[in-house]
């Protein structure tokens, strides 16, 4: 069974848990930090509220269903859709989307290889 890690994300009082291959969680954390640096520069309406990655962990046992565990690829697909839907005119959004899509593609490949194994 592949080694998975979890990213703990927080937006306001809401926690989210994202399960990803252990070798990719650090990329999600780095991407999250980069996106937060750039959010204030976006001028489009409807800029998504983005949670902060507040922790990474190897094991996770959720005892309250109020905070479900999201599949890593599902989370990345949601993130990509949220940023791709922006009608940004003043800031080169393409660089952020490129970073999101790069991690998304890596995860797609990882899950395909796991399915084949």
Alpha helices in the chain (DSSP H): 25-39, 72-84, 93-116
Q: Is the pLDDT of residue 1 over 70?
A: no
Statement: residue 50 has pLDDT above 70: yes
Q: How does pLDDT run across 27-47, given as a tens digit for each residue?
A: 999 999 999 999 988 888 889
The number of domains in the chain is 1
Q: Across the chain, what does the average pLDDT equal? A: 92
Q: Is the model's pTM score more than 0.75?
A: yes
Range of the domain at 106: 4-116
Question: Among all chains, which residue has been given the structure tokens 């479900």?
Answer: 68
Question: Helix %, strand %, coil % for the chain, to 5?
Answer: 45, 20, 35
3-state secondary structure of 89: coil
Mark residue 46 as left, alpha or beta (left: phi above 0; alpha: psi -120 to 50; beta: remaining).
left
């Amino acid at each position: 069974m592949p080694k998975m890690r979890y990213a703990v994300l927080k937006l306001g009082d809401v926690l989210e848990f994202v399960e990803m291959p252990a070798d990719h969680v650090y990329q999600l954390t780095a991407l999250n930090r980069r996106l937060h640096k750039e959010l204030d520069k976006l001028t489009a309406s409807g800029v998504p509220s983005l949670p902060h990655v507040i922790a990474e962990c190897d094991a996770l046992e959720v005892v309250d269903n109020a905070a479900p565990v999201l599949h890593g690829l599902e989370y990345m697909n949601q993130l990509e859709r949220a940023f791709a839907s922006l009608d940004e005119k003043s800031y080169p959004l393409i660089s952020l989307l490129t970073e999101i899509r790069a991690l998304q593609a890596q995860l797609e490949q990882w899950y395909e290889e796991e399915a084949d194994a």
